[in-house]
Amino acid sequence: MMKVAVIGAGAVGQLTASFLAESGMSVSLVTRKQKQVEELTTNQLTRMNIDGTKTVQKIASTTNLTALPPQDLIVIAVKYVHLQNLYDQLASLSNEIPLLFMQNGLAHFEEARSLPQKNIAFCSVSFGAQLRNQTTVQHRGIGPCKIAIERGKQPVFLKLLQLQNPLFPVEMADNAEKMLFEKAIFNSLINPLTYVLQIKNGELVTNTRVYALLKNIYQELTIAFEDIERTISFGDVVDLCRQTAENTSSMLADRMQGRKSEIETIVGAILDKALTNGHHLPTLRTLYLQVLAIEESGEQS
């Protein structure tokens, strides 16, 4: 039986752990909070499915990554802000253990590559997940989980392709950096607008004024990055907004919970990349500054 440790018991971590366990893998959840470990031990992990049913699984949980027995794969599903505290622990593990990173943005790409592990892959997810409480995750939307191997040819990553669960589709991508960049483009289009305006994804295309803003940002991005239009059409953006119409974006969820958002690692990284090409992206930069201003004022919720 394949042993997988999922670090991070937030929405993405819990949903991923639930589907991996359902496929027959031995899954351990690693969380920062002892109270969450106790609740998971008592109540088990519950996934609220899209069709209204529940899936309940007994999953081992711990706050101590190094206390786990040797794993076949480690999935890192924490947000970027928590990655800095993990790198030393990950570097101390056997370099034979494959690592799969599930963060948004681009900032972690070079950092993760500096780790000694022989097999490192990155993952870009577009499913919808929302934490209901410390032991319950709501599956809010089906979307592919794309995996790109950056180093090594570890067969364990390919085993994830064999999950063959239509509710949790897994695909392989060729180029990790390109995959992360394209996801960051989608996030830059959706997240800042939903955060500032406090709206769900669907309103980006049903509200005419917001739609105009969305189109402005897309046009700025296609001027700054000429290849974008060939890989991501504006129709693709509209389709994603419609497919995830009832979703609360990750940045808006952060605002609602009073947490610091990933604006720097997603939008900040895109702005920096555009600036090296001489493009300022004024509409996106304005939204970026608005998000930072809201966070600084302490008025997230």
What pLDDT, on a 0 to 100 scale, did the predictor assign at position 247? 84
Residues across the chain: 301
Q: What are the φ and ψ backbone dihedral angles of 115, each rounded to 5 degrees?
A: -70, 155
What are the Cα distances from residue 77, in Å, to 11, 172, 207? 9, 18, 33
Tens-place pLDDT, residues 193-244? 999 999 999 999 999 999 999 999 999 999 999 889 999 999 999 999 998 8
Tens-place pLDDT, residues 91-125? 999 999 999 999 998 989 999 999 999 999 999 99
Mean pLDDT of the chain: 93
Give the pair of three-digit tokens for residue 95. Answer: 């370099």
**pLDDT band of 295, cuts 50, 70, 90:** very high
Tens-place pLDDT, residues 50-86? 999 999 998 999 999 988 999 999 999 999 989 988 9
What pLDDT, on a 0 to 100 scale, did the predictor assign at position 298? 82
Q: Parallel, antiparallel, or unpaired for β 99-101 and 120-125?
A: parallel
Across residues 42-47, what is the average pLDDT? 94
Which one from 3, 146, 183, 215 is the annotated catalytic residue? 183
Q: Above 70 in pLDDT, residue 299?
A: no
Residue at token pair 């928590």:
82
118 among known catalytic residues = no
If phi over 0 gives left and psi between -120 and 50 gives alpha, with beta otherwise, what is residue 24? left
Sequence-distant (6+) residues with CB within 8 A of 3 are: 25, 26, 28, 69, 70, 71, 72, 73
Under CATH, domain 177-297 is a member of which superfamily?
N-(1-d-carboxylethyl)-l-norvaline Dehydrogenase; domain 2 (1.10.1040.10)
Tens-place pLDDT, residues 139-167? 988 889 999 999 998 788 988 988 889 99
Domain spans, the chain: 1-173, 177-297
3 state DSSP class of 213: helix
Across residues 17-45, what is the average pLDDT? 94
What pLDDT, on a 0 to 100 scale, did the predictor assign at position 220? 97
What pLDDT, on a 0 to 100 scale, did the predictor assign at position 243? 86
What pLDDT, on a 0 to 100 scale, did the predictor assign at position 164? 84
Q: How far is CA 179 from its chain centroid?
A: 12
Does the global pTM surpass 0.95? Answer: no
Which residues on neighbouring strands pair with residue 130, listed in sequence order? 138
What single-letter DSSP state applies at residue 249?
Answer: P
Q: Helices (DSSP H) in the chain: which residue ranges?
A: 11-22, 34-43, 80-83, 87-92, 108-113, 155-159, 176-197, 203-206, 208-224, 228-231, 234-243, 250-256, 263, 269-276, 282-297
What pLDDT, on a 0 to 100 scale, did the predictor assign at position 134? 93
Give the pair of three-digit tokens for residue 137. Answer: 């995750």
Q: Above 70 in pLDDT, residue 300?
A: no
Tens-place pLDDT, residues 241-272? 998 888 889 899 899 989 899 999 999 999 99
Q: Which percentage of the chain shows pLDDT scores above 90? A: 82
Q: Does domain 1-173 have CATH number 3.40.50.720?
A: yes
